[in-house]
């Protein structure tokens, strides 16, 4: 490279900007690849747009924008020297002591595991004229000051990826208990010794809790993995109502773990010293002898746990490198994202759409490629499949691999993709744990929006569901079809194969609890996959069905079948359910997946000879027993909305419970979560645990649709709906590939809300395409209509639904569409919020876990 002259620098000086607080500085990663400043060619950061580019793509940005001046950042990583505090005075590295991220005592995301040598230069294209950061001294003051301030600001600014990382979060923030200042303590209690404690109802000598009312010493809860206690402390609370307990062994002069059973949370007790002195305990003399609840939870987070169960723990695994074997780094509870994108890019249709057309997509990318969906998806696919980021560690001079990096790949960190795909989403924009199935549908939705006029890889998942409803009073039927992308299988617990073992286990458990003995070894229900299929296709009773033949409510039976079979069938086992306290929990059940799957028996047949269809008549807005629109209790609606439920769902709950109060309305909402389209769940409803598992953004009733009360004129009667749609909103929707009529209809249906209108279109895409087809065919003769039939709705492929006539060595791969794509995501953990997603794929007859940054070959097929 030639040396940068003063004249060349003066020519680009007007284009050099100093980044401000609101600017996104992409200095950690290339906009088109996963190259970083640590890559061989370093990173070129545009000093005008603050976008980063690798050596391979920096000229592309120069040719498109004309921006010539870049800050070249190159870092060389070397192992961090061992901390010798004697000579430096620096404190040793601390272990996490708080269940927190990004704050003192918590997990430190910025902690460096390596030291870096950094090389910083200013480079001017296209001739790559350069000058070192410390070589600006000979320039005029005005030039030197301007360039230096821009360079320093770029280097010190928080990068865009850093801003997207986990925010400072503290899981230890505790509230003062409402019982702390008026806690009842019984007179003449027993004196508690400073050590040697034991549960008064069993032989447990750890995880012991002192009830602060009567001085009882009892063991804590039993955890999902069988560890912990025997639940005697919580049982004591249920018997007595004494709310506060302190964990023995955690009492120090600085405090202790205090739990409120009444408030069901860890709490603060400002009067703890006084409460303990009632039992003869002097806080100032106590020492810590047991782990706090925070330490136990941190250990759980740092421990592999169930991950070992599906990773062949104790068996040496062979690391895999090269094209198609690239891992993904966890970006803070992003295992759900990692699992889904690894699945998608194992499918040829997604590879053809984004990876094979990489160059064309990059050529058509906008000035800021970090905000372009196709660019970031193509970048992600290329990063996973190219093998550029899955290479063995470099060898040292003697031919041996560097010990710190032996047979380990760094993987890729899809920060830009995650930031773009989750932008504006109430859940995926956070770093909370999410549901892989929900993210799959969200991503499918985004692909759909960006493929209106081009090849759509979503077609491999899309299939038609046929629903048959039979009125039992008239024996007449109604057939409807809807588009879906996931087959959701219920788990019939009554079909367990080991019922006798389960009953025996429950009896042993009951006896152990009565006799205060340790609980027996856990026995899981073993449910055949075939029973799940049978439950999926079983008839379902529908109460309060409006029969158009009777013009009255009746009882009907609904049967669900496939109207078409997709190329790749996505199956979700509905292992999560709600407990009596509405807390989501995972069913402790084992389901062995078959190697081959035949669902041809679930194909729908349509209207059969002898069946009579129900009249196609819309139900009346006002039924005889509901002559006028009722008044809804707005205070109850507000209470439910504040809990996070959609407004329309809350209005329906109050209406259908007859204004019976908040509790009845809440029960109605929770009990009707699985009613397809009943509540109108939409994109604004957040929370993986709370959203109905059947939710599909293409088939569910639109979130914005208001409840039309009997006796009212509907949503169109409001004045707001009469306002004409803004022309700029219409233009925006039309630019996405929709017609002007569709844009106007969507805006009118959503009170002219652009974001809701776009969601409304995708929720009603079948109806809109059908209307468009009717408009095209209008005026044609009946014969023309028959001979030139127009496809209605989105394109749907169809397959046999069973094994294809293939050679044995081909069968597994080609039947992947019926084997859950010879890969499956799993959930590690026992609860809805404390689980981690995992993903395995069969590759050349070996199982490859693809959730984390490094990939290995496994021999034993894991059990989901």
Higher pLDDT, 460 or 390: 460
Q: Is 223 annotated as a binding residue?
A: yes
Least confident of 59-68, 297-306, 418-427, 565-574: 297-306
- Host H or E run for residue 422: none
What integer is the mean pLDDT of 396-416? 60
Q: How far is residue 305 from each of residues 308, 332, 396, 435, measured CA to CA in Å? A: 6, 18, 35, 20
What would the two tokens of residue 286 be?
Answer: 């106590």
Indicate if the pLDDT at residue 851 is higher than 60: no
pLDDT of residue 393: 64
233-242 confidence digits (pLDDT tens): 999 999 999 9
pLDDT at 598: 87
The whole-number pLDDT of residue 317 equals 61
Given phi > 0 = left and psi -120 to 50 = alpha, else beta, which region is 185?
beta
- Tell me the sheet residues that pair with 468: 479, 559
Is residue 232 part of an annotated ligand binding site?
yes
pLDDT at 92: 52
pLDDT digit string (tens) for 576-612? 665 555 555 667 788 888 878 888 899 998 999 999 9
pLDDT of residue 645: 72
Quote the Cα angle for 611-613-616, to 5°.
Answer: 175
CA-closest candidate to residue 198, choices 176, 167, 229? 229
| 174: helix, strand or coil | coil
Distance CA 847, CA 839 (A): 10
The helix or strand, by DSSP H or E, that contains position 162, with its residue range, turns out to be helix 160-164
Who contacts 507 (Cβ-Cβ below 8 Å, separation ≥6)?
A: none
Residue 98 has a pLDDT of 54
The angle formed by the CA atoms of residues 83, 84 and 88, to the nearest 5 degrees, is 105
For 5, 27, 44, 122, the CA distances from 148, given in Å and listed in that order, are: 16, 17, 17, 10
Does 219 show up as a binding residue in the annotation? yes
Residue 198 has pLDDT above 60, yes or no: yes
Q: Distance between CA atoms of 786 and 779, rounded to whole angstroms?
A: 13
Report the pLDDT averaged over residues 350-374: 94
Share of the chain above pLDDT 70, in %: 67
Q: What is the largest CA-CA distance in the chain?
A: 98
**Residue 344 pLDDT class (50, 70, 90 cuts):** very high
Tell me: pLDDT of 539 over 70. yes
| Separation in Å, CA 179 to CA 211, 237, 247, 250, 268 | 13, 14, 17, 20, 10
CA dist 297 and 630 (Å) reads 50
- Domains with residue ranges and CATH for the chain: 5-82+96-171 (3.30.40.10), 174-311 (3.30.40.10), 334-391+410-459 (no CATH), 463-492+527-602 (no CATH), 634-673 (1.10.8.10), 727-775 (1.10.8.10)
Is 640 within 8 Å of 676 (Cβ atoms)?
A: no
pLDDT at site 797: 77
Query: Do residues 490 and 532 make contact, with C-beta atoms less than 8 angstroms apart?
Result: yes
Highest-confidence range of 76-80, 281-285, 421-425, 639-643, by mean pLDDT? 281-285
Which of the residue ranges 316-325, 543-552, 574-583, 800-809 has the most confident prediction, judged by mean pLDDT?
543-552
Q: Considering only CA atoms, give the Rg of the chain.
A: 32
Going through 463-551 in order, the beta strands assigned E by DSSP cover 463-471, 477-484, 487-489, 525-526, 540-547
How confident is residue 681, by pLDDT bands cut at 50, 70 and 90?
A: very low
| pTM attached to this predicted model | 0.62
Structure tokens at 413: 């960190």
Instruction: Give the Cβ contact number of residue 360 at 10 Å.
Output: 11
pLDDT at 821 over 60: no
Return the structure tokens found at 729.
């909103």
**Is residue 656 annotated as involved in ligand binding?**
no
CA distance linking residue 332 with residue 338, whole number of Å: 11
DSSP string, 672-734: TTTSTTTS---TT---TTTS-TT--TTTSPPTTPPP--TTS--GGGSHHHHSPPPHHHHHHHH
Mean pLDDT across the chain, nearest whole number? 75
- Secondary structure class of 767 (helix, strand, coil): helix
Question: How far apart are the C-alpha atoms of 811 and 372, rounded to whole Å?
Answer: 38
* Calpha distance 690→612 (Å, rounded): 39
Strands 52-53 and 114-124: unpaired
Q: Give residue 559's pLDDT band: very low, low, confident or very high (50, 70, 90).
A: very high
Of the candidate ranges 37-51, 557-571, 713-727, 841-855, the one whose mean pLDDT is the lowest: 841-855
The residue among 572, 336, 594, 565 whose CA lies nearest residue 461 is 565
Please state, for a pLDDT cut of 90, what percent of the chain lies above it.
30
Q: Report which DSSP code applies to 792.
A: -
**Token pair belonging to 327:** 């891992």
Between the CA of residue 843 and those of 324, 803, 807, 817, what are the distances in Å?
10, 19, 17, 15
Taking CA atoms, 300 is separated from 230, 296, 332, 701, 854, in Å, by 19, 6, 16, 40, 21
280 — phi, psi (to 5°)? 80, 20
DSSP annotation of 757 reads H
The kind and range of the H/E element at 156 are helix 141-156
Is the separation of the CB atoms in 439 and 337 below 8 Å?
yes
Instruction: Classify the C-alpha dihedral 741-746-749-753 as positive or negative.
Output: negative
What is the spatial distance between Cα 738 and Cα 364, in angstroms, rounded to a whole number? 21
Pairing relationship of beta strands 463-471 and 552-562 according to DSSP bridges: antiparallel
Q: Which whole-number Å values give the CA distances from 657 to 321, 621, 680, in the listed order? A: 59, 19, 17
Residue indicated by tokens 């009529």: 741
Which residue in 12, 48, 3 sits closest to 138, CA to CA?
A: 3
DSSP state of 364: T
Q: Which of 402, 412, 344 is nearest to 853 (CA)?
A: 412
Per-residue pLDDT, averaged over 112-139, amounts to 84
In 3D, which of 239, 174, 257, 184 has the Cα closest to residue 215? 184
Of 641, 660, 657, which Cα lies nearest the Cα of 649? 641
Structure tokens at 528: 């055949």
Return the number of other C-beta atoms located less than 10 Å from residue 189's C-beta.
14
Yes or no: say if 491 and 526 are a contact pair by the CB < 8 Å rule: no
Per the model's pLDDT, the better-predicted residue between 545 and 427 turns out to be 545
What is the predicted pLDDT for the residue at 778?
40
Strands of 745-863, DSSP E: 823-828, 836-843, 846-849, 856-857
Whole-angstrom distance between the N-terminal and C-terminal Cα of the chain? 56
Residue 730 phi/psi, 5-degree rounding, is -60, -45
Can you spell out the DSSP letters for 177-241?
A: PTTTTS----SSPPPPPSS----SSSS--SSEEEETTT--EEE-PBPTTS-B--SHHHHHHHHH-
Residue of 47, 57, 13 lying closest to 27 (CA atoms): 47
- Local confidence band at 848 (pLDDT 50, 70, 90 cut-offs): very low
Average pLDDT, integer, range 518-529:
86
User: Is 209 assigned to a binding site?
Assistant: yes
Angle formed at CA 626 by CA 622 and CA 631, multiple of 5 degrees: 105
CA-angle at 731, arms to 726 and 732, nearest 5°? 100
Q: Which structure tokens are listed for 20?
A: 């401000």
Q: Are the CB atoms for 441 and 486 separated by under 8 Å?
A: yes
Question: Where residue 813 falls among pLDDT bands split at 50, 70, 90?
Answer: very low
Residue 532 is assigned to a ligand binding site? no
Angle between helices 436-449 and 754-763 (to 10 degrees): 100
202 is in an annotated binding site: yes
Site of tokens 């609840």 = 293
Q: What is the mean pLDDT of residues 38-56?
A: 94
Please tell me whether 633 is known to bind a ligand: no
pLDDT for res 88: 46
Q: Is 536 known as a binding-site position?
A: no
């Amino acid at each position: 490279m030639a040396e940068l002259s003063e004249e060349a620098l003066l020519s680009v000086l007007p284009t050099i900007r100093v980044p401000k607080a609101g600017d996104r500085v992409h200095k950690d990663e290339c906009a088109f690849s996963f190259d970083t400043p640590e890559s061989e060619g370093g990173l070129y950061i545009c000093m005008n747009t603050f976008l980063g580019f690798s050596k391979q793509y920096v000229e592309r940005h120069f040719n498109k924008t004309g921006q010539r001046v870049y800050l070249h950042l190159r870092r060389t990583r070397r192992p961090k020297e061992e901390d010798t505090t004697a000579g430096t005075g620096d404190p040793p590295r601390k272990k996490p002591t708080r269940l927190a991220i990004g704050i003192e005592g918590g997990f430190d995301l910025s902690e460096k595991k390596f030291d870096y040598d950094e090389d910083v230069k200013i480079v001017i294209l296209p001739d790559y004229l350069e000058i070192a950061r410390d070589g600006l001294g000979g320039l005029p003051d005005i030039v030197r000051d301007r360039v230096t301030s821009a360079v320093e600001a770029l280097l010190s600014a928080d990068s865009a990826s850093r801003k997207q990382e986990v925010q400072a979060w503290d899981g230890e923030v505790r509230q003062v208990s409402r019982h702390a200042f008026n806690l009842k303590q019984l007179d003449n209690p027993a004196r508690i010794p400073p050590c040697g404690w034991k549960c008064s109802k069993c032989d447990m000598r750890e995880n012991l809790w002192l009830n602060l009312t009567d001085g009882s010493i009892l063991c804590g809860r039993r955890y999902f993995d069988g560890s912990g206690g025997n639940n005697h402390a919580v049982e004591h609370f249920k018997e007595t109502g004494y709310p506060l307990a302190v964990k023995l062994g955690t009492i120090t002069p600085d405090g202790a773990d205090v739990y409120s059973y009444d408030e069901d949370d860890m709490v603060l007790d400002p009067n703890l010293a006084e409460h303990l002195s009632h039992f003869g305990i002097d806080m100032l003399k106590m020492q810590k002898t047991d782990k706090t609840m925070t330490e136990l939870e941190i250990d759980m987070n740092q421990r592999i746990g169930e991950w070992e169960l599906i990773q062949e723990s104790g068996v040496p695994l062979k690391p895999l490198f090269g094209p198609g074997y690239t891992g993904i780094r966890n970006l803070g509870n992003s295992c759900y994202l990692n699992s889904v994108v690894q699945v998608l890019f194992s499918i040829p249709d997604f590879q053809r759409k984004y990876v094979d057309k990489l160059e064309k997509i990059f050529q058509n990318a906008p000035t800021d490629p970090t905000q372009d969906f196709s660019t970031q998806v193509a970048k992600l696919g290329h990063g996973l499949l190219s093998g550029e980021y899955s290479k063995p560690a470099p060898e040292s001079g003697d031919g041996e691999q560097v010990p710190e990096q032996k047979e380990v790949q760094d993987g890729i960190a899809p920060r830009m993709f995650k930031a773009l795909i989750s932008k504006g989403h109430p859940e995926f924009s956070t770093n909370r744990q999410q549901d892989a199935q929900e993210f799959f549908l969200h991503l499918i939705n985004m692909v759909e929006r960006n493929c209106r006029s081009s090849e759509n890889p979503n077609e491999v998942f899309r299939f038609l569901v046929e629903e048959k409803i039979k009125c039992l009073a008239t024996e007449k039927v109604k057939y409807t079809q809807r588009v879906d992308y996931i087959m959701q299988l219920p788990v019939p617990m009554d079909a367990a194969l080991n019922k006798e073992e389960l009953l025996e286990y429950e009896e042993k458990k009951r006896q152990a609890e009565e006799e205060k003995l340790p609980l027996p070894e856990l026995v899981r229900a073993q449910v055949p996959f075939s029973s799940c299929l049978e439950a999926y296709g079983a008839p379902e009773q529908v109460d309060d069905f409006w029969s158009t033949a009777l013009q009255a409510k009746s009882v009907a039976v609904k049967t669900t079948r496939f109207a078409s079979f997709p190329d790749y069938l996505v199956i979700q086992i509905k292992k999560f359910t709600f407990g009596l306290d509405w807390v989501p929990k995972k069913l402790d059940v084992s389901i062995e997946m078959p190697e081959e799957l035949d669902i041809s028996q679930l194909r729908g047949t349509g209207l059969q000879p002898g069946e009579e269809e129900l009249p196609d008549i819309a139900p009346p807005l006002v039924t005889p027993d509901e002559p006028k629109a009722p008044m809804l209790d707005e205070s109850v609606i507000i209470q439910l909305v504040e809990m996070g439920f959609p407004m329309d769902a809350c209005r329906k709950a109050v209406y259908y419970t007859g204004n019976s109060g908040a509790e009845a309305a809440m029960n109605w909402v929770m009990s009707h979560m699985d009613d397809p389209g009943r509540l109108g769940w939409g994109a604004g409803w957040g929370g993986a645990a709370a959203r109905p598992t059947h939710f599909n953004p293409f088939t569910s009733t639109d979130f914005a649709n208001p409840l039309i009360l009997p006796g009212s004129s509907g949503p169109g009667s409001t004045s707001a709906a009469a306002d004409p749609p803004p022309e700029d909103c219409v233009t925006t929707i039309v630019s996405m590939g929709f017609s002007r009529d569709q844009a106007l209809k969507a805006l009118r249906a959503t009170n002219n809300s652009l974001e809701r209108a776009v969601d409304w279109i995708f929720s009603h895409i079948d109806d809109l395409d059908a209307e468009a087809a009717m408009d095209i065919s209008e005026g044609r003769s009946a014969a023309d209509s028959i001979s030139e039939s127009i496809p209605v709705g989105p394109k749907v492929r169809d397959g046999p639904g069973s094994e294809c006539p293939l050679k044995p060595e081909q069968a597994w791969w080609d039947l992947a569409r019926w084997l859950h794509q010879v890969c499956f995501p799993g959930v590690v953990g026992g609860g809805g919020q404390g689980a981690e997603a995992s993903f395995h794929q069969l590759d050349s007859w070996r199982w490859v876990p693809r959730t984390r940054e490094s990939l290995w070959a496994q021999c034993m097929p894991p059990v989901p």
